[in-house]
Amino acid sequence: MKDLYEQCRARSLADPESFWREAAHAIDWISPPETIHDPEHGWFAGGTLNTAWNAVDRHVAEGRGAACALIYDSPVTDTVRRWSYAQLLDEVGRVAAMLSARGVTKGDRVVIYMPMIPQAVFAMLACARLGAIHSVVFGGFAPHELAKRIDDATPRVVLTASCGIEGTRTIAYKPLVDAALCAAHHQVESVIVFNRDALPAKIDAPRDHDWEALRSVTAHHPVPPCAPMASDDPLYILYTSGTTGTPKGVVRENGGHAVSLAWTMKAIFGIEAGDVFWAASDVGWVVGHSYIVYAPLLAGATTVLFEGKPVGTPDAGTFWRVIERHRVKTFFTAPTAIRAIRKEDPDASFLGQIGTGALRAIFLAGERADPETIAWAEGHTGLPVIDNWWQTELGAPAIATCFGLGDSRRKRGSAGFPVPGNHFAILGEDGQPVPTGKSGAVAMKLPLAPCAFRSLWNNPEGFAKNFQTFPGYYETGDAGHFDAEGYLHIMGRTDDIINVAGHRLSTGQMEQIVASVDGVAECAVIGADDGLKGQVPVAFIIARAEAPELETLASRAIARVRAELGAVAALKTAYLVPQLPKTRSGKILRNALRKIMSGEDFAPPPTIDDPSSLEAIRSVVHPRAAA
């Protein structure tokens, strides 16, 4: 049924105001928009709404209070709990009362530094209820990185937990928060700590407050009403790592965010009220904001909040158990999670035992989904595995197969087709469109879809830089191409296009070839400096469990790249490594690999999941120095 997708896409480009006016009907507006798009005020200008009302209150008001809103599944604490919409409304209201008692009002900022526990969801929605601007910082971030975000956002309150549980590790959060507040210039008025049984924290009055004690004190306070918010009022600030080391605070606005997410849940993911949706991400990342907390609840669906890992909590069958146990209809995860499962269980024996229950589709995003990973997942689940592409700046998928519109087309190695409302162009260095099939800079014509950012917090100059290279377009920073069938292929960041003796080559394309070699579980290809050729590609390979002919795996990978790309590819070095350095969201830290190759000293990036991975690779690349 590609026709429905094509009709939607054509209408969204020919008459975007009509397209998004219709989509806006899915939202309860306090005052309807006066203008669908205004160059100064953005999407749905003049409209007022409250995002928390749309995500929680209205479902109760419509008689769906008993429907399940949230499932918390935590294999690391052996806990499964459920909240109905009525119960979620009560929890959100109580946290809103707590925050109000600490002086939080509309426009104030609140930093949330918490693990994957329900209180983090309650806190985000409570901020939205009050009209306060939340800024979720991934729990466990180093104190100096947390301090940077505190200084930029200048929050009135910090919400945290006593600890996080990362696989088999328990990480004390309160000392990290204390250290960050000592380092920050801005001083917050209150720190509210949710104490967990695994590792309680000491509460230091008068600044610190115990979550449960404060909840008890404010138990009889009236629940604050939902604050009317202008469509272009900020809902949240989400920081991404800037290229200069200064974090960029992406600002998400209430109106466009609510309309876009409600539309994508049905059109892309095929989710409606009462369905169960699971995004195996973290609330500290944009996927967690959009598709754990807000979008499923805006749609009246059930969202799954998972505290665990794809392997090791307790094994490679964890994801399949959660899917089967809760009758998940659509599952969203990162390709790296599927690769981790495949590495531990290459024959999918756990999947064979457990099954996929009510699951209809798997969506992948966060890293480029290589064809081998998609083939393995589709082959063993018998379900469509759909890649999709977007960024923190965009807030929702911009390239995908719109499964909910009845479109099932997909091509391994491609992120799919432009999502309606997104106008893509592949541009050369001269700013002109390149021919079909030729790689160039992936750009998006303005105006961007309603969910996309329109500012960076306290950083108008940084925001403007996104639009300077190609006037009238947003520069995504990715390289890619359209093929003859209209599929859009994202091949990696533009700085991952390397110049080998005058030839521009894609490391993403090389990764795709290396990943197809029998025995490769995961890989990364980077461009290393070379005195003769300028740059040369270097591959890092993780072998699959019980990989055949392990001793020849590196040479076979090199030979495969040469066979498919020719000698110009110049891949002559491939290392077998025990692990790859990744962010907690699963992205491979390729810049760290480049620095290791060049022998540079550098501090581990704040987003890294396991700093020991850097030393493990350094010992392989520079064994004498490591010794």
Domain ranges of the chain: 2-308+388-480, 495-626
Average pLDDT along the chain: 93
Question: How many C-beta atoms surround the C-beta of residue 606 within 10 A?
Answer: 18
Residues 197-225 have a mean pLDDT of 95
Identical fold between 2-308+388-480 and 495-626? no
pLDDT digits (tens, 9 = 90+) for 16-36: 999 999 999 999 999 999 999
Give all strands (DSSP E) within 318-375, no chain letters: 330-333, 361-364
Lowest mean pLDDT of 67-71, 375-379, 461-465, 499-503, name the range. 499-503
Handedness of CA 565, 570, 576, 580 (dihedral sign): negative
Query: Contact at 8 Å (CB) between 200 and 165?
Result: no
Q: Which residue has the tokens 């669908």?
A: 36
| pLDDT value, residue 242 | 54
Q: Is the pLDDT of residue 503 over 80?
A: no
Lowest mean pLDDT of 93-102, 326-335, 517-526, 586-595, name the range. 586-595
Question: What's the rounded Cα separation, in Å, for the pair 426 and 437?
Answer: 10
| pLDDT value, residue 368 | 78
Q: How many helices (H) and strands (E) does the chain have?
A: 22, 31
Higher pLDDT, 526 or 607: 526
Q: Degrees (nearest 5) of the Cα angle 172, 174, 180?
A: 115
Give all strands (DSSP E) within 356-487, no chain letters: 361-364, 385-387, 399-400, 417-418, 424-427, 440-445, 473-482
Classify residue 433 by its DSSP letter.
B
Classify residue 338 by its DSSP letter.
H
Buried b (16+ CB within 10 A) or exposed e, 61-76: eeebbebbbbbbbbbb
| pLDDT value, residue 201 | 96
| pLDDT value, residue 243 | 47
Structure tokens at 68: 């399940």
Task: State the first-to-last Cα distance of the chain, in angstroms, to the nearest integer.
Answer: 60
- Residues 6+ positions from 601 with CB-CB distance below 8 Å: none
**What is the CA 538 to chain-centroid distance, rounded?**
27
- Of the chain, the percentage scoring pLDDT greater than 70 comes to 97
Classify residue 469 by its DSSP letter.
S
**What is the CA 434 to chain-centroid distance, rounded?**
30
Structure tokens at 281: 């991400």
Lowest mean pLDDT of 97-101, 533-537, 621-625, name the range. 621-625
- Residues 6+ positions from 145 with CB-CB distance below 8 Å: 137, 247, 606
Question: How many C-beta atoms surround the C-beta of residue 603 within 10 A?
Answer: 10
Higher pLDDT, 564 or 65: 65
Query: Contact at 8 Å (CB) between 416 and 387?
Result: yes
Which one of 3.40.50.620, 3.40.50.12780, 3.30.300.10, 3.40.50.2300 gives the CATH number of domain 2-308+388-480?
Answer: 3.40.50.12780
Question: Helices (DSSP H) in 74-200: which residue ranges?
Answer: 85-101, 118-130, 143-153, 174-183
| Model confidence band, residue 245 (pLDDT cutoffs 50, 70, 90) | low
Architecture category of domain 495-626 in CATH: 2-Layer Sandwich (3.30)
| pLDDT value, residue 583 | 82
Residue of 261, 214, 211 whose CA lies nearest to 235: 261
Range with top average pLDDT, 163-177, 415-429, 478-492: 415-429
| pLDDT value, residue 43 | 98
Lowest mean pLDDT of 107-116, 306-315, 521-530, name the range. 521-530
Q: Degrees (nearest 5) of the Cα angle 588, 589, 590?
A: 95
- Which amino acid, 590? R
Q: Which helix (H) or strand (E) holds 579?
A: none
What CA dihedral angle connects 212, 172, 242 and 419, to 10 degrees? -60
> Strand 48-49 vs strand 302-306: parallel, antiparallel, or unpaired?
unpaired
Residues 552-569 have a mean pLDDT of 87
Query: Contact at 8 Å (CB) between 428 and 473?
Result: no
Q: Is the pLDDT of residue 501 over 70?
A: no
| pLDDT value, residue 625 | 56
- Which amino acid, 354? I
| pLDDT value, residue 600 | 87
Classify residue 605 by its DSSP letter.
P
Phi and psi based region of residue 519 (left: phi greater than 0; alpha: psi -120 to 50; beta: remaining): left
Lowest mean pLDDT of 139-148, 299-308, 428-437, 569-578, name the range. 139-148
Residues 130-153 have a mean pLDDT of 92
pLDDT digits (tens, 9 = 90+) for 159-183: 999 999 988 889 999 999 999 999 9
| pLDDT value, residue 627 | 47
Question: What's the rounded Cα separation, in Å, for the pair 535 and 528?
Answer: 5
Specify the length of the chain in residues: 627
| pLDDT value, residue 45 | 97
Lowest mean pLDDT of 86-100, 291-305, 313-327, 558-572, name the range. 558-572
Residues 409-427 have a mean pLDDT of 96
Question: What's the rounded Cα separation, in Å, for the pair 6 and 385?
Answer: 21
pLDDT digits (tens, 9 = 90+) for 246-286: 789 999 999 999 999 999 999 999 999 999 999 999 999 99
